[in-house]
Amino acid sequence: MMIMGHRGAAAIEPENTLLSIKKAMDIGVDAVEIDVHLSKDNELIVIHDSTLDRTTNGTGPVNNYTLSELKKYDAGKGECIPTLQEVMELTDKKVKLVIELKEKGTERIAVEQIKKNSFEDNVYVISFWHRLVKNVKEIDSNIKTGVLMVGCPVDTSIADQASADALVMKYNFVDAEFLELSHKNGLKVFIWNIDTPDLVKPFADIGVDGIGSNNPGILVDYFGRSGI
């Protein structure tokens, strides 16, 4: 079982910040999930939305600003918006990194940074844009990937089409039948997001491969530090 902190520990500290990621690591997660967008000068920026408005004191599209301009904004509790490079340096392969590509054009830059930091065995690259997932595999087949989705498909061909290693699914669309089919076809199934203790057991019982949470302490309390 892989315990994942969603956007770090988003229920406790400002999401997608180094503070939030460090909190998740201190709690004892096995992996941290983050989101990346491109800045105006093509740096991979760790932020969920395509605009600054919800999570920072800035306004407007992320890609209207250079990295140095973005660094001036407060992402919560005085935290700067981090880069993917800064997150890699912080996590330092102590936990796995689950990188969600939020927009087209991020895949090659993400792969370059993964390889530059020798993170190939330490990441999953995921996206709702399944073409981006396929592109990552075509650039480097050694990097593990996952397709994000809401809903339960008829079969696992949606992952096969993207050459993905995992399905990353909203928890309430996963059942034992689909999990068995996925495992039969060599695919892992990760779910998001379990944020209350009462929801953990049913998915632990059917044997999902990983669970994400905004409050990952509830998963660590249930499973202990599981290891991967």
Catalytic residue numbers, as ranges: 6, 48
Give CA angle at 92 (58, 17), nearest 5°: 20
The DSSP bridge pattern shows strands 96-101 and 123-127 to be parallel
Which residue from 167, 99, 168, 169 is spatially nearest to 136, judged by alpha carbons?
99
Contact 152, 174 (CB under 8 A): yes
Computed on alpha carbons and rounded to an integer, the radius of gyration of the chain in Å comes to 17
- Beta bridge mates, 38: 44
Instruction: Count CB-CB contacts under 10 A for residue 120.
Output: 13
Cα(196)–Cα(202) distance, integer angstroms: 12
Q: Using the 8-state DSSP alphabet, how is residue 82 labeled?
A: P
Count helices and strands in the chain by DSSP H and E runs: 9, 9
Residue 144, helix vs strand vs coil: strand
